[in-house]
Structure 1
Amino acid sequence: MSLTERESDLLTSADAVFPDALAFVEDMVKTYAVLGQEQAVLNCVESQMADLGLPVTRVGMHKAELAEHPLYAPVPWDHDSKYNLVACLNPQAVGKTLVFNGHLDVVPADPFDMWTSAPNEPWRHDGWLYGRGAGDMQAGVAAMIYAVHAIKQAGFQVTSPLTVQAVVEEECSGNGALACLHQGFGGDFVLIPEPFGPTLYSGQIGVLWFKLGVRGKPVHVQAAGTGINAIEKLQRLIPWLQDLEAELNEQHRVGPYREIDHPFNLNIGAIAGGNWPSSVPAFAEMEGRIGFPPGMTANDIMQRVSHCIDQACLRDPAFAEERPVLRFHGFRSEGHLVDTGNPGIELLSQCHHSLTGADPEPYWSTATTDLRAFHFYNRTGGTCYGPVAKNIHGVDECVNIESIRHVLRAYVLFISRWCQLEPL
């Protein structure tokens, strides 16, 4: 589909606001919005949305209410004091509803000395913007917010329903997006600018978080042979979990995941134990994540992990007297395949083609996103389409600057073709 004169004017407006959008990304990166420290980024984004004339609402995360919903991910912390930011344009208007959703929270970046520069001090180099959260996914958040702003700057107003959501806890639970949906902030189609590039996000796996704790027998290290080292004991469980990982990849790959090498990954992401170098450690705990295939339920994968630990206890004499303590917290998110025949995805493909002259490539993710909340809550159609990033969750995370501009332009074009616009 070729561009109309109005669309060309809208894209010119997108280019005009792009420098401000890029500065906004840098402002968000400076807040270093890790779990429990999201207030600074919420303040930053709320202020920016208000300055751009977006009607901001704080949408709370009330644990007692959310915990009753089957999509709620149990977490050990209190998030009643947290909130998400939502701007609803024309909520009572007639027309197809469009939702933009992006998360503000980031994962920890320490140790900082592994980075070229401090991860909360953004810097640019060779066309890339560096900093924790620059790619995952504060660049995308800026693109979606400034796409709405670019429409206004071009002299038009959206008159059909459009919602912009900036949420927290995407990196650990998904409860932020769930809170928005649970309080009625849904729509007919959702776009999420996750940093997988300008592709058609076509599916994602399930993700489960778990904790395993064991106790040992503490003694002075001079008599280490009479004690039981909890850290070493805990490590004995890892091969059993690796066997489960292998089984999932060998026997349970479905659909397009049959073509992906090792899509379901186990990760032991944190481990702690003991309290003194000269004492045999009395306790140890590890936290892990395991991926599982679309179509497998959260209950099923939890049972498989439980069975895995049961087998370890039956066959390893180290666990004969006391079992490990297994707990599930955070993600228990099921995977799904995207309906790529949805009218919104067809329109996104047309917008991509109008800007690039080519059709977008499909992308099947081996991670999870907040898209699952929209899919499982009310079967909302949607996909992810975002900037190009490198080293997300790693050292020297960065996002390609021109790819942010492309997403901003693509979103402006999508709004103009999906929503109803009128001159101001």
Structure 2
Amino acid sequence: MTLSTQTISQAVEARADRIVETLSRLVSFPSIVMNDPRQAGPGERDCQLYLQQRLEAIGFTTDLWDPDGPALLEKYAGRPGANKGRTFDGRPNLGGTLAGSGKGRSIMLTGHIDVVPPGPATHWTSDPFVPMVKDGFVHGRGTVDMKGGVACMLMAVEILKEIGAELKGDVVFTTVVDEEIGGMGSLAMVDRGFKADAGIMTEPTANRIAPLCHGILWGRIVIDGISGHAELTPNAWHAGGPVDAVQLCRQMLDGLDILNRRWMYEPRKNHPLMAMPNQIIVTQLHVGEHPSSMAGRAEITIDVQYLPHEKDEFGLGGHVKREIEEHVAALCLSDPYLRQHPARVEWILDADCAEVPADHPFVETFQGAVAAATLDPALAGFGAHSDIGLPTGLGNTPTVNFGPGDPAQSHQPNERVSIEDLVACTKAIALAIYGWTNLEKA
């Protein structure tokens, strides 16, 4: 039996309450990930166990496993997703496959269930892990980034099963941990062998198809000054006097602004689908040791964006790293102290990026499904990093971002997603699954 767009759409709309209930259940698991993954609580595992139960109930064959961080690092050292210090004890990935009847194209639905810490409770108007439905929105940590998308992709498959949709191609479902601290969960998922002819990663895109994301570099610019009493007349630094690292930090920040202004107009730092050029964003400052002492050291933590065409031979941001290192070195030459004691850049993380061509058959099929769900089928860029580079590059699964919610709500207090967005996203994904998996495999 062939199902019409109207039949699928109406089935989704009739189950809006269940979509909300599913998201609320996912939010109730405090699946927080920390910079040190050993500090993660049981929320990630509990959330994955819940999803596993839902998948198995509709016929998925599932695989729940704790990845081996050191083994992955050894195997993929220097490649995307291979990060030091990752441990996955009690932090499982989940994968599952729903077999099609045969000869259709397969699709992978993927997302992450880890969330960033909620921050001070005083910044929230409700408990971040007690989901609240109010004024047409679901409130709570992860509603946007990205349990809303996970709820939509799960419900899309469940609804298709409930209305008797026959799918010729396989549906692969994966939810990973560790995305918020570098993506090694997605690396483990691809290494495990999960792949398909095309994929949807349900990161929040305001229900726009985003076949492109940024690569991200995290780095630390370290400036060594010389501490001394802040209230006394100092000797010259070459005579043993202090050098104020606060002042040197100011100079370095001004120098980073110069590079940002240059990047605004460089074609290689811009993309027609991206709203803004690549940027160097200062996210943390650690300067000084004592209130009455000149600072002897400064650390500037930066978050740097890069585009797929800037990737090096390893699929990472090596070219951009060198560009920043050379700029920092040039800035040091303009200061007599830094000329002799140059600042250094220590790289913390390199998260890769990807781009699926606009004329890829899946992108065109998905645009049709999005239009049928009465959403805007125009393509857009995803300004932040997402894990689409790992399934797209390493896993040979061309994967696009598409999910509910305003991406600007990510990581903010009082995170919320509209029920209207959730229903529309579920509808588009269900239509895409049905349309794509019933195309004969190339």
Report TM bin, short chain. 0.7 to 0.9
User: Given the two structures, how large is their TM-score scaled by the length of structure 1?
Assistant: 0.87
Question: Which SS does the other structure have where 2:145 is aligned?
Answer: helix
Deviation readout 1:150-184 (Å, 9 max, x if unpaired): 22222456563221111123233122212211221
Q: Does residue 228 of the first structure (1) align with residue 228 of the second (2)?
A: no
Aligned equivalents of 2:186, 2:385: Cα separation in 1: 13
Question: Which deviates further from its counterpart, 193-202 or 46-55?
Answer: 46-55
Q: Does residue 381 of the first structure (1) align with residue 398 of the second (2)?
A: yes
Aligned equivalents of 1:292, 1:156: Cα separation in 2: 41
Question: Which deviates further from its counterpart, 305-314 or 4-13?
Answer: 4-13
Q: Alpha-carbon deviation of 1:212?
A: 1.8
Q: Alpha-carbon deviation of 1:133?
A: 1.6
Q: Is the 8 A contact 1:7 1:416 kept in 2?
A: no
Q: Alpha-carbon deviation of 1:196?
A: 0.9
Q: Does residue 48 of the first structure (1) align with residue 51 of the second (2)?
A: yes
| Equivalent residue pairs, number | 416
Q: Is the 8 A contact 1:71 1:178 kept in 2?
A: no
Aligned equivalents of 1:117, 1:175: Cα separation in 2: 32
Question: Which SS does the other structure have where 1:136 is aligned?
Answer: coil
Q: Choose from 174, 180, 185 the match for 1:171.
A: 180
Aligned equivalents of 2:271, 2:344: Cα separation in 1: 36
- Alpha-carbon RMSD across the aligned residues, in angstroms, is 3.0
Question: Which SS does the other structure have where 2:63 is aligned?
Answer: strand
Aligned equivalents of 1:360, 1:417: Cα separation in 2: 15
Question: Which deviates further from its counterpart, 217-226 or 263-272?
Answer: 217-226
Q: Is the 8 A contact 1:28 1:41 kept in 2?
A: no
Question: Kindly, what percent of the aligned residue pairs are identical?
Answer: 22
Aligned equivalents of 1:45, 1:332: Cα separation in 2: 24
Question: Which deviates further from its counterpart, 145-154 or 83-92?
Answer: 83-92
| TM-aligned CA distance change 1:290 to 1:224, over 3 Å | farther
Deviation readout 1:230-272 (Å, 9 max, x if unpaired): 3443343222222222222212347743x86642122111222
Q: Is the 8 A contact 1:96 1:419 kept in 2?
A: yes
User: Given the two structures, how large is their TM-score scaled by the length of structure 2?
Assistant: 0.84
Aligned equivalents of 1:218, 1:138: Cα separation in 2: 47
Aligned equivalents of 1:254, 1:217: Cα separation in 2: 37
Aligned equivalents of 1:260, 1:12: Cα separation in 2: 34
Aligned equivalents of 1:43, 1:278: Cα separation in 2: 49
Corresponding position of 1:296:
310
In structure 2, give the amino acid aligned to 1:245: N
| TM-aligned CA distance change 1:369 to 1:94, over 3 Å | same
| TM-aligned CA distance change 1:203 to 1:14, over 3 Å | same
| TM-aligned CA distance change 1:52 to 1:162, over 3 Å | closer
What aligned pairs does 1:140-151 form with structure 2 within 5 A after superposition? 140-151=149-160
Q: Is the 8 A contact 2:55 2:96 kept in 1?
A: no
Aligned equivalents of 1:291, 1:392: Cα separation in 2: 17
In structure 2, give the amino acid aligned to 1:28: L
Q: Alpha-carbon deviation of 1:195?
A: 1.2
Question: Which deviates further from its counterpart, 156-165 or 343-352?
Answer: 156-165
Q: Choose from 73, 78, 82 the match for 2:86.
A: 78
Aligned equivalents of 2:83, 2:221: Cα separation in 1: 15
In structure 2, give the amino acid aligned to 1:33: I
Q: Is the 8 A contact 1:71 1:373 kept in 2?
A: no
Q: Choose from 334, 350, 373 the match for 1:355.
A: 373
In structure 1, give the amino acid aligned to 2:86: D
Corresponding position of 2:197:
188
Q: Does residue 21 of the first structure (1) align with residue 19 of the second (2)?
A: yes
Structure 2 gap ranges (5+): 235-240, 312-316
Aligned equivalents of 1:186, 1:80: Cα separation in 2: 21
Q: Is the 8 A contact 2:222 2:297 kept in 1?
A: yes
Q: Alpha-carbon deviation of 1:12?
A: 4.3
Question: Which SS does the other structure have where 2:182 is aligned?
Answer: coil
Deviation readout 1:56-111 (Å, 9 max, x if unpaired): 32244433333342433454532243432111223996542210011122234323
Q: Alpha-carbon deviation of 1:117?
A: 3.0
Corresponding position of 1:63:
69
Q: Which has the higher strand share?
A: 1
Deviation readout 1:273-332 (Å, 9 max, x if unpaired): 444333433333232111123311211101001111111222223423433331112234
Structure 1 gap ranges (5+): none
| TM-aligned CA distance change 1:362 to 1:313, over 3 Å | same
